[in-house]
Structure 1
Amino acid sequence: MHHRWLLLLACFWVLFMLLVASKFIALTMRSPEGYGIRQGSLTVLPELEKMTVTEARKFQINGQPTADTLKNMTFIDVIQKERQELLRSICRNGSQGNRSHSAISKFVLDRIFVSDKHKILFCQTPKVGNTQWKKVLIVLNGAFSSIEDIPENVVHDHDKNGLPRLSSYSMADVRERLNSYFKFLIVRDPFERLISAYKDKFVHNPRFEPWYKHNIAPVIIRKYRKDRSEIRGGLQFQDFVRYLGDPNHRFMDLQFGDHIIHWVTYVELCAPCEINYNVIGHHETLEEDAPYILREAGIEKLVSYPAIPPGITKYNQSKVEYYFSKVSKRDIKRLYDRFEGDFKLFGYKEPTFLFR
């Protein structure tokens, strides 16, 4: 009888692993269409600088799931577990060096918004739909009664939106929240995110953000445009890529200040190897990830994520290839070298045009 139960348990485990493997293969075979700063000379909070990946491991989920846990796991649970395991694996092996590790500095803590009432931390990664998540937290914190009531000019006004940043707390309070609060971030294909940042800040250039066009763009053009005699047309994508891929970009980043948050890496923004995020959402699967985050945070009955326009989260391979077709292979390679940690940590494939 004992052997019979062991055989049944072994059969269950094999069936489960086959199910997980089939789901994983389905994801990896899916067409792409289907779908903070390591501070250097910047100020780093001394008590937090020592919180490296070694210390962060004690905040992570350990051990293999039990049979009862496996039976209750949904497809999205499996996906989230795979994302977490991939992230931890890359963080542990250290092959990415400082492309995967970042000090928990004031720059990082400035990116993390807090809801003490519901014990939630959200790390802002611009150009992946963060405005909507900030609206969710604004409602949870009580500044407005519904998302529809929030004026657009208030969402990013930190004097009016009622969203405290983690950097505003004492060191002891920061550690306590990092240890015990529900933490999440959203990521997106790194190169598509850079295109979105370029178009939003330097092409469309909102009226309330004139400094991108009038202060930042001319500096990049002067330093990185190959044909210095051609000054018309504003910042070109090629100029932007040369700036981002320059190993000596940090001096210019310091000059631009916090405006760089729209194009620096997820590693530099959120220190994912040092902070154990409970959920990693992907922009490409936001329709499934948003309800999951609300449920895991225990707030699904209090607030809803705003409606997602059809097709807005779909990865646009044609757009990415069009923009990068104007960029030299050397500049693309240098850009990828900088953002390789983001690709590896979050499971995004290397761009195919790197190898053409």
Structure 2
Amino acid sequence: MRHYWLLLGACGWVLLILIIFTKLFNFRSVDDYGRRIIGQSGTVPVTKMVKPVLVSSSDKPTPKPPASPTVAPTEAAWQSVIDKRIQLLSAVCKNGSLTNLTHVSINKFVLDRIFVCDKHRILFCQTPKVGNTQWKKVLIVLNGAFSTVEDIPENLVHDHEKNGLPRLSSFTPQEITHRLSTYFKFFIVRDPFERHISAFKDKFVKNPRFEPWYKHDIAPAIIRKYRKNQRNSDLTASGLHFEDFVRYLGDAEGRRRMDRQFGEHIIHWVTYAELCAPCEIHYSVVGHHETLEKDAPYILKAANIDQLVSYPAIPPGITHYNRTKVEHYFSGISKRDIKRLYERYQGDFQLFGYQSPDFLLNKTINDPKNIKSSQHL
């Protein structure tokens, strides 16, 4: 009997030890997040460990792009405008009937017009009377001489010995070819007839930069040839009239002879084709003076310099085409002279999508009473 109770007691102790060990083991079994894991026999259901599922890139939610790299609808629309200009330029260059007006060789005269910014791989062909001075300022800033365009003295911009802007003509033929084929290239154009008015006012009426050869050399030569019954003593005093200027520009043979005498001072009314050879040089962008408010920031961004420099502020309304002004200046000029002028610049009209001035070409004969002396306008 005694052995029986001893055996029963020993079994009880063994059972008690097993219960305590089991509870201790369950307490220490926790998952990676500190939660207890209880066996299937317990009252708490087992937490299932879900195996990660690999999601393909097509199934992933598309993240929202950052705000800065997005292309705004207006930018995309303007890119289309730029593309259409280049397409039109290419199409007109292929027009055999206009070859004499659109094609020129890439000669020294053209290379002298193209300024180089090697630091940012940019070529800019200058076309006077279209904001050319402001673009020179942009390139001067990019070359590091000044921090902003506002800091550049006006007299330095056109001092090509000191402004630090090399011309493409200063490089070797191999260097020229490399830059023409790899650099970002652009130039700006303007309605040809409005450009002539601006050139006439700037060089023969106001002459703000004091270039006396226009008044004392070029103007008298034009007057002497195209104004009848003009005494030599009055050539300078009377001043050049816009009518004289138009006759000179439209006279193919006479103008060529006079231009050789005038030298490079004539660049202010040379055709865009002669200045920049757009049918031979594949430009990246052709900007228009009439849309400079949109073209300037587009060019800066396309050339990857928009974070480095800003185009100078554009006065309101200064770039808009002014048909009233054009009609006013041409009011006293014969249809024959207007037609000759258009024939010379027809290539520029068509290359860059400017409408032919039919409102002038088809106008009625002018009443001499309405003719005004243009040098005072």
TM-score where L is the length of structure 2? 0.74
1:280 is aligned to 286
Matched, 1:238 2:243: yes
- Residue 335 (structure 1) aligned to one of 320, 324, 341: 341
Q: CA deviation at 1:354?
A: 0.6
Alignment gaps of 5+ in structure 1: 1-68
Structure 1 residues 243 and 117 mapped into 2: Cα distance closer, same or farther (>3 Å)?
A: same
Report the more deviating stretch, 297-306 or 205-214.
205-214
Residues 69-120 of structure 1: CA distance to partner in whole angstroms, max 9, x if unpaired?
9x99711111011101110000012221211111111000000000000000
**What are the equivalent positions in structure 2 for 1:111-122 lying under 5 Å apart?**
111-122=113-124
**What are the equivalent positions in structure 2 for 1:173-192 lying under 5 Å apart?**
173-192=175-194
Structure 1 residues 79 and 214 mapped into 2: Cα distance closer, same or farther (>3 Å)?
A: same
TM-score where L is the length of structure 1? 0.78
1:64 is aligned to none
Q: 1:183 aligns to what SS in structure 2?
A: strand
- Residue 353 (structure 1) aligned to one of 349, 352, 360: 360
**What are the equivalent positions in structure 2 for 1:74-85 lying under 5 Å apart?**
74-85=76-87
1:127 is aligned to 129
- Residue 140 (structure 2) aligned to one of 135, 138, 141: 138
**What are the equivalent positions in structure 2 for 1:5-84 lying under 5 Å apart?**
74-84=76-86
2:264 is aligned to 258
Whole-angstrom CA distance in 1 between matches of 2:210 and 2:138:
23
**What are the equivalent positions in structure 2 for 1:296-311 lying under 5 Å apart?**
296-311=302-317
Percent identity, aligned pairs only?
69
- Residue 161 (structure 1) aligned to one of 163, 167, 182: 163
Aligned residue identity for 1:180: T
Count of aligned positions: 287
Alignment gaps of 5+ in structure 2: 1-70, 364-377
Residues 227-254 of structure 1: CA distance to partner in whole angstroms, max 9, x if unpaired?
4357452000011011111111111111
Q: 1:304 aligns to what SS in structure 2?
A: coil
Whole-angstrom CA distance in 2 between matches of 1:98 and 1:112:
22
Aligned residue identity for 1:343: F
Matched, 1:323 2:329: yes
- Residue 319 (structure 2) aligned to one of 313, 316, 323: 313
Whole-angstrom CA distance in 1 between matches of 2:81 and 2:228:
44
Whole-angstrom CA distance in 2 between matches of 1:326 and 1:127:
23
Aligned residue identity for 2:294: E
Runs of 4+ in structure 1 over 6 Å off: none
Matched, 1:247 2:244: no
Whole-angstrom CA distance in 2 between matches of 1:207 and 1:119:
31
Residues 271-291 of structure 1: CA distance to partner in whole angstroms, max 9, x if unpaired?
110001100100000000000
Q: CA deviation at 1:142?
A: 1.4
Whole-angstrom CA distance in 1 between matches of 2:209 and 2:119:
35
Q: CA deviation at 1:269?
A: 0.4
The RMSD of aligned alpha carbons is: 1.6
Aligned residue identity for 1:321: E
1:41 is aligned to none
- Residue 86 (structure 1) aligned to one of 79, 85, 88: 88
Report the more deviating stretch, 167-176 or 198-207.
198-207
Aligned residue identity for 1:269: L
Whole-angstrom CA distance in 2 between matches of 1:339 and 1:202:
21
Whole-angstrom CA distance in 1 between matches of 2:179 and 2:202:
33
Higher-RCO chain (CA-CA 8 Å, sequence separation at least 6):
1
